């Protein structure tokens, strides 16, 4: 009888959420039969025309992110939450096809392929490393972040232009045209992304009172990532609980002219302070009516907002082992939350915006600016093939280093004239790269664009300092 009940629930999810067989949903999961519960279903029924803006997005675009960044980023967070949090088990939240607010959300296909590919519980992909002490002075163990991202209706339109059918490869015509015409992603595109880690409050105190999902992750990431093999070949996976660490948002807002029309925001989970008197009511209001553990989604505390890279701010400061958040008041295109309840954040280069799972020598904008096909330049200047040395704290960064900290016009590729801009979408960039790797492996074929740039390996991956062996 128990077997019958579990199987029926799984089948119900299947025919309700996957009414057509589209792109592969995930790449790694327990075998069918060994596991019979719900699994991740890719939301890939992309609109063929740009849909009208959801009313909350129209309201967001009326808020001035320069003068009221807190209201702006909380409004974006509340829009992401709306209809995706249901008040029951958190494992049932953010099944995009079950949105109860009438908002459509979509995933980027072709994240299932390769060693970092999607797992089958929630569609989490393995992202960047979390080296010791990069989150908290007590952190002694290395780990990796696991993440899932999603786009609202206007963003789903662009994804569908690049991936019009699961029966064919990517079509880059829309992105090529946008380099001349601008706005590959329409005004009002909103992107959300959650990052999880196996690290807990014993390593990172502000991850107390956690919000947890199950993940089919690499065993070595659940113990100590410094013991993982370099290429992850043959590394075993198993089911583990992971803790919410970070949330990122992006909004296509034409007022952000310095950042190709994108406004970036990031949040850090702060379960340690969630019940304290200092915790601002504005942070938790969106979850006031939610029953049970779903309230913990509102433990995500704003770290900041970015709408440009302050290219003239070149004095170097990299806070790779933070004990406190260092705010650079000279930055004019980044706002950092100065709430004393915010845990010590490393931020990015010279305190530009970056989240806890991001590299302290970069910034939100700097990483996403490298979203292009082919990936001629690495996501960070010190990675191959660029290999630009990190500047010492207190010194002026070189012109070569500052190429990653410039501002961009809409449609501009990071390596202009050498690559096709993916309009700051690292997920689209990774999806095209994955497809090419798949063709190389299965059909023994190559594409001309593989020869456009440097052929050295520099995978698209965020993250704080590479964990040392």
Percent of the chain with pLDDT over 90: 80
Arithmetic mean of pLDDT, 5-23: 64
In whole angstroms, give the CA distance from residue 13 to residue 435: 28
Residue 271 C-beta-side C-alpha neighbours within 13 Å:
20
Q: In this predicted structure, what is the pLDDT of residue 469?
A: 34
Helix H or strand E segment including 175: helix 173-181
The model's pLDDT over 105-122, given as tens digits with 9 standing for 90+, comes to 999 999 999 999 999 999
Output 145 or 34, whichever has higher pLDDT: 145
**Residue that is written with structure tokens 């995706």 in the block:** 84
Q: pTM of the entire structure?
A: 0.94
Q: Which two tokens stand for residue 169?
A: 């490869």
Query: What is the spatial distance between Cα 183 and Cα 163, in angstroms, rounded to a whole number?
Result: 17
Closest CA to 375 of 439, 433, 461, 435: 433
Phi, psi at residue 106, to the nearest 5°? -140, 150
Within 10 A of 115 (CB to CB), how many other CB atoms are there? 14
Q: What is the mean pLDDT of residues 399-422?
A: 96
Q: Taking residues 7-28, what's their average pLDDT?
A: 74
**Band (159; pLDDT cuts 50, 70, 90):** very high
Q: How confident is the model at residue 4 (pLDDT cuts 50, 70, 90)?
A: very low
14-28, 173-187, 234-248, 386-400: range with lowest mean pLDDT: 14-28
- What is the pLDDT, as a whole number, of residue 69? 98
| Confidence at residue 242, expressed as pLDDT on a 0 to 100 scale | 98
Torsion of CA 289, 243, 108, 458, to 10 degrees: 150
Name the helix (H) or strand (E) containing 251.
strand 237-252
């Amino acid at each position: 009888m128990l077997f019958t009940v579990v199987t029926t629930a799984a089948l119900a999810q299947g025919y309700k959420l996957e009414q057509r067989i589209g792109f592969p949903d995930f790449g790694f999961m327990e075998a069918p039969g060994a596991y019979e519960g719900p699994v991740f279903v890719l939301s890939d029924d992309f609109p063929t025309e740009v849909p009208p803006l959801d009313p909350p997005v129209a309201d967001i675009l009326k808020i001035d992110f320069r003068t009221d960044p807190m209201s702006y980023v909380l409004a974006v967070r509340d829009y992401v939450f709306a209809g995706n949090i249901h008040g029951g088990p958190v494992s049932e939240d953010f099944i995009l096809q079950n949105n109860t607010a009438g908002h459509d959300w979509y995933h980027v296909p072709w994240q299932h392929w390769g060693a970092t590919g999607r797992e089958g519980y929630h569609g989490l992909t393995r992202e960047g490393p979390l080296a010791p002490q990069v989150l908290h002075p007590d952190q002694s163990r290395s780990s990796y972040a696991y993440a899932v991202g999603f786009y609202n209706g206007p963003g789903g339109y662009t994804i569908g232009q690049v991936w019009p059918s699961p029966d064919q490869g990517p079509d880059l015509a829309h992105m090529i045209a946008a380099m001349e015409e601008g706005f590959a992603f329409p005004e009002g595109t909103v992107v959300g992304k959650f990052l999880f880690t196996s690290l807990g409050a014993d390593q990172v105190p502000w991850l107390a009172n956690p919000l947890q999902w199950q993940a089919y992750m690499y065993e070595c990431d659940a113990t100590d990532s410094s013991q993982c093999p370099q290429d992850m070949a043959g590394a075993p996976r198993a089911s583990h609980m992971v803790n919410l660490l970070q949330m990122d948002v992006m909004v296509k807002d034409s007022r952000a002219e310095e950042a190709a029309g994108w406004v970036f925001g990031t949040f850090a989970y702060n379960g340690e302070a969630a019940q304290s008197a200092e915790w601002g009511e504005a942070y938790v209001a969106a979850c006031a009516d939610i029953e049970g553990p779903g309230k913990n989604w509102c433990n995500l505390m704003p770290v900041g907002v970015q709408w440009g890279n302050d290219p003239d701010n070149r004095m170097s400061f990299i806070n790779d082992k933070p004990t406190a958040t260092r705010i650079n008041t000279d930055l004019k295109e980044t706002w950092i939350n100065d709430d004393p309840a915010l845990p010590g954040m490393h931020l990015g280069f010279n305190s530009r915006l970056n989240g806890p799972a991001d590299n302290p020598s970069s910034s939100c904008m700097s990483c996403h600016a490298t979203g292009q096909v082919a990936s001629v330049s690495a996501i960070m200047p010190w990675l191959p093939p660029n290999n630009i040395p990190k500047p010492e704290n207190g010194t002026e960064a070189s012109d070569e280093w500052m190429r990653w900290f410039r501002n961009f016009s809409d449609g501009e590729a990071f390596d202009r004239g050498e690559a096709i801009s993916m309009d700051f979408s690292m997920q689209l960039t990774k999806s095209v790269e994955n497809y090419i790797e798949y063709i190389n492996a299965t059909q023994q074929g190559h594409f001309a664009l593989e020869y456009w740039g440097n052929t050295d390996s520099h995978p698209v991956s965020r993250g704080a300092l590479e964990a040392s062996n």
